[in-house]
A = this chain, B = another copy of it.
Amino acid sequence: MGETDRAALEARLAERRAALADLSAEIAEIEAALGGAVSPLAPDAFPEMPAVPGLRLAAGHAGVKYRDRDDVMLAELAEGSVMAGTFTRSATRAAPVLWCEERLRALADAPSGRIGIVVNAGNANAFTGANGMASVEAVMTAAGEALGIESGRMFMASTGVIGEPLPHNRITAKLADLTEALSEEAFPAAARAIMTTDTFAKGASAMVQLDGDVTISGFAKGSGMIAPDMATMLVFIFTDCAIAQPLLQAAVARLTDLTFNAITVDSDTSTSDTLLVGATGRAEMEPILEVDDPRLAAFEGGLRYVMQDLALQVVRDGEGATKQVEITVTGAESDLAARRIGLAIANSPLVKTAVAGEDPNWGRIVMAVGKSGEAADRDQLSIRFGEILVAEKGWVAASYREEDGAAYMRGEDLEITVDVGVGTGEATVWTCDLTKRYIEINADYRS
């Protein structure tokens, strides 16, 4: 190439890059005018959510950060309620998380009673020094007074920007209105009020037949900073089941590992992850009081369904996601080892970008298995995309054709199965692809 040609090409490149920046800005503007881009993996609509007897919800606008949408949610659980929960294990967890952990410990031995929850979006009240806990206490005291519930039975969760003081007066100023507005029918509004970078509201419910019908209805928010180490998002699930608190707590902890702790968007763990599950005990049934009560398994089945559904909705709203990926690992030394290998694959930027590019690049899966630190027999490794056998015994399968893999990767819901050939441990985890849109969202989130 001559010097003149090169200079001309470089000038054209600079001009085209400038045009690209302009076009990107215009697209972002149109998307904002349309109310933000909704994930292509979003469900068609927020589901019908059956009311939970004994539960009332309200949503409102406190202006914590967002100017023209609801950003605060109040929940009231009637007399006879118990609460269970799991939280982020981050060493820098936020003040509301510390508050909830303490309340849960204190209430584990307490009788059932009324319970309240306040949630705000836009400010996480994390890394806010001693002021952080003072803000929680101010909101909890005021909300307890508004509801007529002692503050020791009040819970709080906050999500949004880290490191800025929570303007808690804006929340307390709205508590009277919120209390006034409490209703059994407010699931959609409550689910919307707790969103941050979410592109759709997330709800799920199940009915379980025990003595009579038991309802389980919940909602969640979460889209970025999602990685397994507890719930990694905010989740609130309610049921009218009558169940002893220790049994509910044990079920929640166990099911969290199979659902919310098995999903990852970007390997980043939030300082604010909170899952609260409240049971009002209003269903027509004898309470479940013993671990060998056969109804416990049926209830757990319904609860798992709701938790799994909400967890997958979070993956499907992963920042910039265009594909959901289910990764099943078998043949590992243990179930835990299988989960670690699954997460090494699910968190690998090279795997996630290959999925985004619809590239059946199974070599990157081999790489991720290798870096997981868990035992794997390189010469027994097998990989499947859906039903397609891609690799076996440590090499590409004789029957595999690249065009089959490429066609499979064009789908929206992908299943990758890996057998590592050393034992009987297995696990399934879920993630989404890594696209330019993730970068856009996160390079501009705060500014």
Chain B contacts for A275, CB-based, 8 A: none
Q: How many Å from the CB of A365 to the closest CB on chain B? A: 9
A270 within 8 A of B: yes
8 A Cβ contacts from A310-362 to B: 347-350, 353-354, 356-357, 359, 361-362
* Complex partner residue of A20 from B27, B369, B394, CB under 8 angstroms: B27
Bound complex: CA A331 to CA B310 (Å) = 39
A354 pairs with B443, CB closer than 8 A: yes
CB-CB under 8 A for A353 and B438, given A13-B34, A361-B446: yes
Q: How many Å from the CB of A369 to the closest CB on chain B? A: 6
* Complex partner residue of A269 from B12, B370, B391, B447, CB under 8 angstroms: B370
A263 within 8 A of B: no
Chain B contacts for A367, CB-based, 8 A: 90, 92, 126, 162, 225, 268-271
* Complex partner residue of A369 from B92, B348, B356, CB under 8 angstroms: B92
A376 within 8 A of B: yes
Residues of A within 8 Å of B, CB-based: how many?
A: 89
A24 within 8 A of B: yes
A206 within 8 A of B: no
Bound complex: CA A442 to CA B352 (Å) = 9
CB-CB under 8 A for A376 and B443, given A126-B363, A367-B269: no
Task: List 12 extra interface pairs beyond A19-B23, A163-B363, A359-B445, CB under 8 A.
Answer: A20-B20, A20-B23, A91-B378, A92-B376, A127-B363, A127-B366, A127-B391, A127-B394, A271-B370, A349-B442, A354-B442, A357-B447
Provide 7 A-B residue pairs closer than 8 Å at the C-beta atoms, listed in order of the A residue. A16-B30, A91-B374, A92-B376, A127-B363, A271-B370, A354-B445, A361-B445
